[in-house]
Structure 1
Amino acid sequence: MRLLLLIVLLLPLTAVVVVVGAKKYQRVDVMEIARNYDVMVADQDDDGDDGDDDDRHYDDDDSCPPGCHCTPRVVQCSDQGLIGVPGKLPADIVMLDLQNNDISEIKEDDFKGLEKLYGLFLINNRISKIHPRALKNMNNLRLLYLSYNALTQIPADLPPNLVELRFHENRINRIQKDAFKGLRKLHVLELGANPLANGGMELGAFNGLSTLYVGMSESRLTAVPKDLPSSITELNLEYNKIFKIEVEDLIRYKNLQRLSLSFNQIRFVENGSLAKIPNIRQIHLDNNALKKVPAGLGSLRYLQVIFLHANKISSVGINDFCPLRFGEKKNLYNGISLFANPVKYWDVHPGTFRCVGGRRGVQLGNFRK
């Protein structure tokens, strides 16, 4: 299981960008994911098979739905114009691919009997309704991808052992208290590109989660959400309307290692705010409206990447990035970007970047109006 979680969190998601009309979405390569989960497939094989027949096709088998592509434990029914989940699916499958169809509703018995299902991919359909009991008792389900649909709320009775849950680009504008109740193993929660404002998240909406990654890019946020799981190590808030960072915004997220705030409207970072995230490795503040380098960067011992390009920074001080005393910084910078700012790079003191590793670690460049 530890190896499995490592694969989930560290391997890049294999995907292809597909254009459907004016709509773009990332097609997930289910077979690549299945190959990455060899440990999972073996664990769920009750026959003790050594997996040598995993490449054989069963498209003409009676148990394979018409138009679908079937291999042992994997059924692919993407791009078939389906308006519903196929019936009589093989009971032993662990991966079900229903991407890019016209399914509008998930009914109560659509997945009945699929007790070994591990990954369910419903990306780019028209799903607006999921029966409250449709996902109940799917205790082996770990990956649930519902991105690019028309859902307006979080489905009820989500499987308790989910590791990844993706709702990118739906119509969710409110998250009720205890919406993710019981999902103690969830590590990835993607909610980006939903019309979700700060007021749309009820207090306690994320109760019980120990999530490591939360994505809320392209939403309607005007401030950093303050009630997300305190366990998060990565938070993506890009392409929102956040205009300032205050101390209370980050005080809950002491485990944060990567913070993405690019393409907002941030003009102000309150002194002491960044000190609340002492374990941070990467901060993305590019494409905002900052007039100076945020205070406190020098106190972040593990910070390696800080992106500040495309702001309004006109000057850089000698102690803006590095601590005063030698040896206080545990990790040297390998990336500081300051290009596309009105700062005169010839006025920057050479000692400003004394804690940067390598000559290519700093990008200044000329400013052009």
Structure 2
Amino acid sequence: MKEYVLLVFLTLCSAKPLFHPSYMTLKNMMLKDMEDEGDSDADNSLFPTREPVNPFFPFDLFSTCPFGCQCYSRVVHCSDLGLSSVPSNIPFDTRLIDLQNNKIKEIKENDFKGLTSLYALILNNNKLSKIHPKAFLTTKKLRRLYLSHNQLSEIPLNLPKSLAELRIHDNKVKKIQKETFKGMNALHVLDLPSTLLELHLDYNKISVVELEDFKRYKDLQRLGLGNNRITDIENGSLANIPRVREIHLENNKLKKVPSGLQELKYLQIIFLHSNSITKVGVNDFCPTVPKMKKSLYSAISLSNNPVKYWEVQPATFRCVLSRMSVQLGNFRK
């Protein structure tokens, strides 16, 4: 027995460090996140502050851990192992799984089944092209999901409503459906592919659009922000999406027509109905130089706003296809 204990001790002493720099950064970031959430229960924290009972043997020699991985304090560290699939035997009380820098092509339905305490999942830099729509069915406490540098063509379906951070840039995503983030009240970071052509963020609780929000999406053609709580769109925000053709801002709390619409040469459809817009200026939609507009408006919706439509000057809609393209009256029931 003494020989066995000595062998284990020597093995632990000669092992490589468990955490590499990027992993330590992530750990510190999540520690701060846990502190901000006010989680004072040490048993429920991601990285318990209490020392192990035996400081010479911090690892549980008899607990399950996927082959080749390193497990410690409810963290399963399996990066850089050349894995082609998610390993089995992940402990059910795991809170962080690091699977980055592998060769995983698919996330199957039961890969994370039963991991009800999972807080963070790192899958950056794999070969993912498919994620089963029920893969996150039981991960109802998942807060951070990292999927960057893969081959995904769409955002995974049925993401947990607990999700607070999603990183998915450098994939093949071209379109994001409006139902993708529905109900995710706490979602505050979206690191999305810069090649997006469509972005639908309808039915969330977005209150402000800031200058940096769409800076990366120069090719965006359709933008959905309807049914949110938007009160303000910062000047210059829409100039970052010069190729946009359709914008939905209906059912928000805007008090004026967003600035910069007249500079969008290809914009054809703009929905602003059911807001709190009280005034429409003569240059809110059309440029002062006619040749700047490459595509005429086919639909401008301003109905159900407190606009005195009889005061709107006819020249306001000089760059529309026809007068039937404009809905201006208040059609309240």
Q: TM-score range by the shorter chain?
A: 0.5 to 0.7
1:233 equivalent among 197, 203, 206: 197
Q: Does 1:278 align with 2:242?
A: yes
Distance in 2 (CA, whole Å) between partners of 1:107 and 1:281 is 45
Are 2:154 and 2:172, in contact at CA under 8 Å, matched by a contact in 1?
no
Q: Does 1:219 align with 2:183?
A: yes
Which residue in the other structure is 2:272 paired with?
A: 308
Which residue in the other structure is 1:27 paired with?
A: none
Distance in 2 (CA, whole Å) between partners of 1:169 and 1:163 is 13
Which residue in the other structure is 1:362 paired with?
A: 326
Please state how far the C-alpha of 1:266 moved relative to its aligned partner: 0.5
Number of aligned residues: 229
**Alignment deviations for residues 99-128 of structure 1 (CA, whole Å, 9 cap, x no partner):** xxxxxxx996xxxxxxxxxxxxxxxxxxxx
Distance in 2 (CA, whole Å) between partners of 1:181 and 1:220 is 20
Please state how far the C-alpha of 1:282 moved relative to its aligned partner: 1.1
Structure 2 vs 1, CA of residues 175 and 234 (structure 1 numbering), >3 Å: closer, same or farther? farther
Which residue in the other structure is 2:147 paired with?
A: 180
Distance in 2 (CA, whole Å) between partners of 1:303 and 1:173 is 40
Please state how far the C-alpha of 1:353 moved relative to its aligned partner: 1.0
Report the identity percentage: 41
Are 2:229 and 2:252, in contact at CA under 8 Å, matched by a contact in 1?
yes
Distance in 2 (CA, whole Å) between partners of 1:145 and 1:301 is 45
1:290 equivalent among 233, 245, 254: 254
Structure 2 vs 1, CA of residues 242 and 219 (structure 1 numbering), >3 Å: closer, same or farther? same
Structure 2 vs 1, CA of residues 366 and 241 (structure 1 numbering), >3 Å: closer, same or farther? same
Structure 2 vs 1, CA of residues 254 and 163 (structure 1 numbering), >3 Å: closer, same or farther? farther
Please state how far the C-alpha of 1:305 moved relative to its aligned partner: 0.9
Please state how far the C-alpha of 1:300 moved relative to its aligned partner: 0.5
Are 2:142 and 2:160, in contact at CA under 8 Å, matched by a contact in 1?
no
Q: Which amino acid aligns with 1:210?
A: K
Please state how far the C-alpha of 1:258 moved relative to its aligned partner: 1.2
Are 1:223 and 1:242, in contact at CA under 8 Å, matched by a contact in 2?
no
1:208 equivalent among 154, 157, 170: 170
Give the TM-score taking structure 1 as reference length: 0.52
Distance in 2 (CA, whole Å) between partners of 1:305 and 1:145 is 39
Are 1:222 and 1:242, in contact at CA under 8 Å, matched by a contact in 2?
no
Distance in 2 (CA, whole Å) between partners of 1:308 and 1:334 is 14
Structure 2 vs 1, CA of residues 366 and 194 (structure 1 numbering), >3 Å: closer, same or farther? same
Distance in 2 (CA, whole Å) between partners of 1:282 and 1:355 is 15
Which residue in the other structure is 1:162 paired with?
A: 129
Please state how far the C-alpha of 1:329 moved relative to its aligned partner: 1.0
Please state how far the C-alpha of 1:348 moved relative to its aligned partner: 1.2
Distance in 2 (CA, whole Å) between partners of 1:192 and 1:107 is 22
Which residue in the other structure is 2:315 paired with?
A: 351
3-state DSSP of counterpart to 1:235: strand
3-state DSSP of counterpart to 1:327: helix
Q: Does 1:253 align with 2:214?
A: no
Please state how far the C-alpha of 1:221 moved relative to its aligned partner: 4.5
Structure 2 vs 1, CA of residues 195 and 316 (structure 1 numbering), >3 Å: closer, same or farther? same
**Alignment deviations for residues 238-275 of structure 1 (CA, whole Å, 9 cap, x no partner):** 11111111101121222211111111110111111111
Are 2:149 and 2:168, in contact at CA under 8 Å, matched by a contact in 1?
no
Q: Which amino acid aligns with 2:213?
A: D
3-state DSSP of counterpart to 2:213: helix
Q: Which amino acid aligns with 1:321?
A: F
Q: Which amino acid aligns with 1:187?
A: S
Distance in 2 (CA, whole Å) between partners of 1:251 and 1:218 is 23
Distance in 2 (CA, whole Å) between partners of 1:145 and 1:337 is 43
Please state how far the C-alpha of 1:137 moved relative to its aligned partner: 8.4
Which residue in the other structure is 1:268 paired with?
A: 232
3-state DSSP of counterpart to 1:259: strand
Give the TM-score taking structure 2 as reference length: 0.58
Distance in 1 (CA, whole Å) between partners of 2:143 and 2:194 is 18
Q: Name segments (4+ residues, structure 1) moved above 6 Å.
A: 143-146, 149-159
**Alignment deviations for residues 47-89 of structure 1 (CA, whole Å, 9 cap, x no partner):** xxxxxxxxxxxxxxxxxxxxxxxxxxxxxxxxxxxxxxxxxxx
Structure 2 vs 1, CA of residues 227 and 357 (structure 1 numbering), >3 Å: closer, same or farther? same
3-state DSSP of counterpart to 2:300: strand
Distance in 2 (CA, whole Å) between partners of 1:151 and 1:235 is 31
Please state how far the C-alpha of 1:364 moved relative to its aligned partner: 1.5
Distance in 1 (CA, whole Å) between partners of 2:253 and 2:222 is 20
Q: Does 1:242 align with 2:206?
A: yes
3-state DSSP of counterpart to 2:292: coil
Are 1:243 and 1:266, in contact at CA under 8 Å, matched by a contact in 2?
yes
Which residue in the other structure is 2:161 paired with?
A: 195
Structure 2 vs 1, CA of residues 228 and 272 (structure 1 numbering), >3 Å: closer, same or farther? same
**Alignment deviations for residues 265-319 of structure 1 (CA, whole Å, 9 cap, x no partner):** 1011111111111111111100000000000000011111111000001111111
Are 2:227 and 2:251, in contact at CA under 8 Å, matched by a contact in 1?
yes
Structure 2 vs 1, CA of residues 336 and 206 (structure 1 numbering), >3 Å: closer, same or farther? same
Once the two structures are superposed, the pairs formed by residues 315-326 of structure 1 within 5 Å of their partners are: 315-326=279-290
- Taking only aligned residues, the RMSD between alpha carbons, in angstroms, comes to 3.8
